[in-house]
């Protein structure tokens, strides 16, 4: 064997091939190795390499990495114990020299559950690095310590906490539902039309009872949650279920915006000077609720339970005192003040107008479905506790809505414009009348109303992430929405809801009356699909009591369907058209996402063979120079395969000549290819070269091994051109190409 052929990589391939042919006929005995395709002369050449040099192999060595028993690769001293404990055999440097060593885990990062089964502990998740540790400490202070998945059962809600979280949206709607009825009547038909608020309110209460009884049946039939989406999917098919999901998701976003806008309006009634800051305050409140929900369901329930019950107590006290005082006055009605006439319209009191007022007041029903969507958050028995909580919520909502509607009529309360001097909500006007001015009781009502309206947004935070999780689990939304954060909450859905809610609030400048027209149509569409799905379920299964159940759900489906149509028609020009466009777009988006996941599941071919014996590597190593990082990367690549090519792309002729000289002095059989790039591009020539390699080696797995320098400090990254990162990004979606990095960390020196 000619040593010069090994030392000089510029030796013509034909000469080297000839030397190989000569050596193959030498007297060197072949080592028994039936599984190896490598002859003895190649092994002999391997043994002549100096320890400090890179691996040197003939250019025509086999394409693949040699098998483990070949001398081309260093024999492993022992085999890794995957579970980090037990006995391992350690081989010495001489034949037959071996001993057994007992190994144990050295850290507390894992608990051993059994052979081959480790459980990561909290210590394994601790941040590494100065910046990571600082971020982790801040995160723990703000969000809390991580909870293990096994603790999910302990995050269930009692009925009292569930009422606070899941009912706050419905209970808070009494703060603005009556006001929206009065607004439609006053602005369109004048002060006299405001007397119709009582029959419209009665109709809404009747609808509330129908929907409540219907959802009691839904909860029992679908105890795993999902509400209208699950019911429609099970009974009506894909499209209706996606319409229900889209309608609910839009409604939850609007719930956040409407509730926060109404909360700021309640504050403004008591503190008019904050008028110009209402959008800023609203966004800040959304951020606060988002943050609290990231801390987990149970903890947010503990935080929000007190304001909810303060509001309920305050409302019952105010309504009780108001009714008693009004009864003592012989139920004498106080007419609206003269200021109401300034807003009065001159239109006729038509059926269409009454339907508009009814659809606006239908906001009182928003949030009724929340409990059916969140059944799994209850303690066992989940569906029984959920039904009980729903019944309590319906009762409180019916009483408070009826009381506020009646007192608004009796005390002559009227809707005011937010730009109007001394702006007050209808609830604020009633509280002033009942408590005799702006005293402590009045401020209690205003701030408890503000608190419940903020918590109403929290109902959306309880249901939007869970519904997103269910839909994403079925493959109709991005899988990221199934992720549980440190506190077992669906963090991605929570953050997404906060962002969308703040966006809507900003777009509509925090004006409740501008968002309400968008609100009802989505809610009643989901109501209708849920009740229709239950009707089909009764007809298909004919379970015990199916006739009465079918009758209740049929009445609910017809009633909510009529309201949905009324809302769509009467509120179309006021903004309902936005929802009528957004929901179909969401359905198309969800179907497209599902199509992608299904296509990936069915058609995504595994381009890399599954049998290790069928994998043939063609390794490409892009290098900028021959520094230590590049030489380490070449050594790593050569350990993978004998078919390695170093690739240097440059537009600098001097740099090209320099790397040729350095390569000649390196003494390695790895082939060097120079690509001159006169247009100074790195990515384009690399991709084109890989295309040609793939055409010439169609059965090989092309592996790109990248040397990558990693700086110690974040700002040091800005001083480097991040070529490896750009190459990885360009190759990320390239089929049949394996990309790996050999990182070089700057050593700390004293």
Q: What is the pLDDT of residues 409-468, one digit of tens each?
A: 999 998 888 777 777 889 999 999 999 888 899 999 988 888 887 777 777 887 888 899
What average pLDDT does the segment 364-376 reach?
Answer: 82
pLDDT bracket for residue 13 (50, 70, 90): very low
74 vs 49: CA distance, rounded Å: 13
445 vs 313: CA distance, rounded Å: 10
pLDDT bracket for residue 31 (50, 70, 90): very low
Q: What angle do CA 63, 64, 66 make, to 5 degrees?
A: 125
Over 60: is that where the pLDDT of 17 sits? Answer: no
User: Percent of the chain at pLDDT above 70?
Assistant: 77
Contact 442, 430 (CB under 8 A): no
Lowest mean pLDDT among 24-33, 61-70, 367-376, 662-671: 24-33
- Return mean pLDDT, the chain: 78
More confident residue, 667 or 237: 237
Over 50: is that where the pLDDT of 120 sits? Answer: yes
Contact 669, 11 (CB under 8 A): no
- pLDDT tens-digit readout, 463-484: 888 899 999 999 999 988 887 7
More confident residue, 313 or 721: 313
Lowest mean pLDDT among 109-123, 266-280, 516-530, 565-579: 109-123
284 vs 263: CA distance, rounded Å: 12
User: What per-residue confidence (pLDDT) applies to 44?
Assistant: 37
pLDDT bracket for residue 79 (50, 70, 90): low
User: What per-residue confidence (pLDDT) applies to 324?
Assistant: 94
Nearest to residue 403, comparing CAs of 342, 292, 323?
Answer: 323
Over 90: is that where the pLDDT of 500 sits? Answer: yes
The end-to-end CA distance of the chain, in Å, is: 47
Over 60: is that where the pLDDT of 48 sits? Answer: no
* Phi, psi torsion values for 612, nearest 5 degrees: -55, -30
Lowest mean pLDDT among 99-103, 273-277, 526-530, 541-545: 99-103
Over 90: is that where the pLDDT of 51 sits? Answer: no
Over 90: is that where the pLDDT of 218 sits? Answer: no
Question: Residue 198 has which token pair?
Answer: 């009582």
User: What per-residue confidence (pLDDT) applies to 714?
Assistant: 63
What average pLDDT does the segment 316-339 reach?
Answer: 90
pLDDT bracket for residue 535 (50, 70, 90): very high
Give me the half-sphere count of Cα atoms (radius 13 Å) on the Cβ side of residue 267. 21
Cα-based distances in Å from 537 to 224, 232, 238, 284, 428: 16, 10, 16, 44, 45
What average pLDDT does the segment 364-382 reach?
Answer: 83
User: What per-residue confidence (pLDDT) applies to 434?
Assistant: 92
User: What per-residue confidence (pLDDT) applies to 375?
Assistant: 85
- pLDDT tens-digit readout, 659-694: 888 988 888 888 888 888 887 778 888 888 888 888
User: What per-residue confidence (pLDDT) applies to 60?
Assistant: 37
User: What per-residue confidence (pLDDT) applies to 83?
Assistant: 62
Encode 693-706: b = buried (16+ Cβ within 10 Å), e = exposed: bbeeeeebbbbbbb
User: What per-residue confidence (pLDDT) applies to 18?
Assistant: 35
What average pLDDT does the segment 515-526 reach?
Answer: 82
User: What per-residue confidence (pLDDT) applies to 347?
Assistant: 77
- pLDDT tens-digit readout, 141-163: 776 667 665 555 556 778 888 88
- To 10 degrees, what angle do helices 577-603 and 512-541 make? 50
Q: Tokens 């384009």 correspond to what residue?
A: 684
pLDDT bracket for residue 2 (50, 70, 90): very low
Over 50: is that where the pLDDT of 372 sits? Answer: yes
What average pLDDT does the segment 483-489 reach?
Answer: 71
Over 50: is that where the pLDDT of 1 sits? Answer: no
Lowest mean pLDDT among 123-132, 206-215, 370-379: 123-132
Cα-based distances in Å from 736 to 427, 476, 645, 703: 66, 28, 18, 9
Over 60: is that where the pLDDT of 292 sits? Answer: yes
Over 60: is that where the pLDDT of 187 sits? Answer: yes
Q: List, in order, residues 6 or more apart from 264 with CB less than 8 Å away.
A: 274, 278, 281, 282, 285, 450, 510
More confident residue, 731 or 500: 500
- pLDDT tens-digit readout, 583-599: 999 999 999 999 988 88
Q: Tokens 């909502």 correspond to what residue?
A: 397
- pLDDT tens-digit readout, 605-654: 555 567 777 788 889 999 988 888 888 899 999 988 888 999 888 888 88
User: What per-residue confidence (pLDDT) applies to 506?
Assistant: 92
Query: pTM for the complete prediction?
Result: 0.67
User: What per-residue confidence (pLDDT) applies to 65?
Assistant: 44
pLDDT bracket for residue 16 (50, 70, 90): very low
Q: Tokens 């020196």 correspond to what residue?
A: 749
Over 80: is that where the pLDDT of 286 sits? Answer: yes
328 vs 185: CA distance, rounded Å: 29
């Amino acid at each position: 064997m000619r040593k010069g052929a090994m030392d000089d990589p510029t030796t013509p391939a034909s000469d080297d091939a000839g030397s190989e042919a000569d050596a193959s006929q030498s007297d060197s005995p072949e080592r028994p190795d039936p599984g190896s395709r490598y002859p003895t002369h190649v092994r002999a050449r391997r043994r002549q390499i100096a320890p400090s040099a890179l691996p040197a192999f003939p250019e025509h060595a086999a394409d693949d990495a040699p098998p483990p028993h070949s001398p081309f690769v260093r024999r492993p001293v022992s085999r890794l114990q995957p579970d980090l404990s037990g006995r391992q055999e350690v081989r010495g440097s001489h034949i037959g020299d071996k001993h057994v060593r007992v190994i144990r885990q050295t850290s507390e990062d894992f608990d051993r559950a059994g052979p081959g089964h480790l459980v990561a502990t909290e210590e394994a998740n601790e941040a590494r690095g100065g910046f990571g540790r600082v971020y982790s400490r801040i995160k723990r202070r703000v969000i809390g310590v991580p909870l293990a998945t096994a603790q999910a059962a302990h995050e269930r809600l009692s009925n009292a906490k569930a009422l606070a979280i899941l009912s706050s949206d419905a209970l808070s709607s009494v703060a603005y539902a009556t006001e929206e009825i009065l607004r439609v009547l006053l602005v369109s038909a004048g002060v006299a039309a405001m007397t119709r608020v009582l029959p419209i309110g009665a109709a809404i209460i009747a609808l509330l009872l129908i929907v409540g009884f219907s959802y009691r049946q839904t909860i029992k039939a679908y105890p795993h949650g999902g509400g209208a989406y699950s019911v429609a999917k099970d009974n009506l098919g894909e499209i209706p279920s996606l319409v229900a999901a889209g309608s609910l998701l839009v409604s939850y976003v609007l719930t956040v915006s409407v509730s926060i806008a109404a909360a700021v309006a309640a504050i403004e009634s008591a503190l008019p000077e904050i008028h110009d800051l209402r959008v800023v305050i609203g966004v800040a409140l959304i951020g606060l609720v988002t943050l609290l929900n990231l801390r987990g369901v149970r903890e947010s329930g503990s935080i929000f339970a007190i304001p909810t019950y303060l509001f309920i107590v305050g409302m019952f006290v105010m309504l009780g005192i108001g009714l008693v005082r009004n009864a003592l006055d012989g139920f004498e009605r106080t007419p609206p003040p003269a200021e109401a006439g300034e807003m009065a319209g001159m239109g006729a009191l038509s059926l269409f107008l009454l339907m508009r007022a009814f659809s606006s007041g239908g906001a009182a029903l928003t949030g009724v479905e929340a409990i059916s969507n969140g059944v799994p958050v209850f303690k066992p028995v989940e569906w029984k506790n959920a039904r009980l909580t729903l019944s309590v919520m319906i009762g409180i909502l019916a009483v408070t809505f009826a009381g506020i509607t009646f007192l608004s009529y009796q005390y002559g309360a009227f809707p005011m414009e937010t730009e109007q001097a001394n702006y007050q909500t209808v609830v604020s006007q009633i509280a002033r009348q009942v408590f005799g001015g702006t005293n402590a009781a009045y401020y209690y009502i205003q701030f408890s109303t503000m608190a419940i309206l903020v918590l109403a947004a929290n109902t959306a935070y309880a249901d939007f992430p869970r519904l997103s999780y269910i839909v994403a689990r079925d493959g109709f939304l991005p899988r990221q929405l199934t992720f549980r954060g440190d506190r077992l909450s669906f963090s991605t859905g929570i953050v997404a809801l906060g962002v969308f809610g703040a966006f809507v609030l900003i777009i509509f400048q925090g004006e409740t009356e501008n968002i309400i027209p968008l609100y009802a149509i989505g809610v009643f569409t989901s109501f209708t699909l849920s009740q229709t799905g239950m009707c089909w379920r009764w007809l298909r299964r004919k379970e015990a009591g199916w006739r009465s159940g079918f009758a209740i759900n049929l009445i609910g489906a017809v009633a909510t369907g009529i309201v949905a149509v009324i809302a769509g028609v009467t509120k179309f020009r006021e903004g309902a058209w936005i929802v009528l466009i957004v929901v179909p777009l969401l359905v198309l988006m969800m179907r497209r996402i599902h199509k992608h996941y299904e296509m990936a599941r069915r058609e995504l071919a595994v381009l890399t063979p599954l049998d290790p014996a069928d994998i043939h590597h063609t390794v490409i190593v892009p290098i900028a120079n021959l520094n230590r990082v590049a030489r380490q990367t070449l050594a790593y690549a050569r350990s993978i395969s004998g078919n390695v090519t170093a690739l240097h792309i440059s537009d600098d002729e001097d740099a090209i000549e320099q790397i040729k000289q350095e390569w000649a002095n390196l003494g390695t059989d790895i082939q060097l290819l120079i690509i001159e790039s006169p247009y100074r591009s790195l990515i384009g020539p690399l991709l084109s070269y890989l295309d040609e390699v793939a055409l010439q080696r169609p059965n090989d797995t092309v592996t790109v091994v990248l040397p990558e320098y990693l700086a110690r400090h974040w700002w040091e990254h800005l001083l480097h051109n991040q070529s490896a990162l750009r190459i990885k990004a360009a190759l990320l979606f390239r089929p049949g190409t394996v990309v790996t990095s050999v990182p070089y960390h700057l050593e700390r020196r004293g």
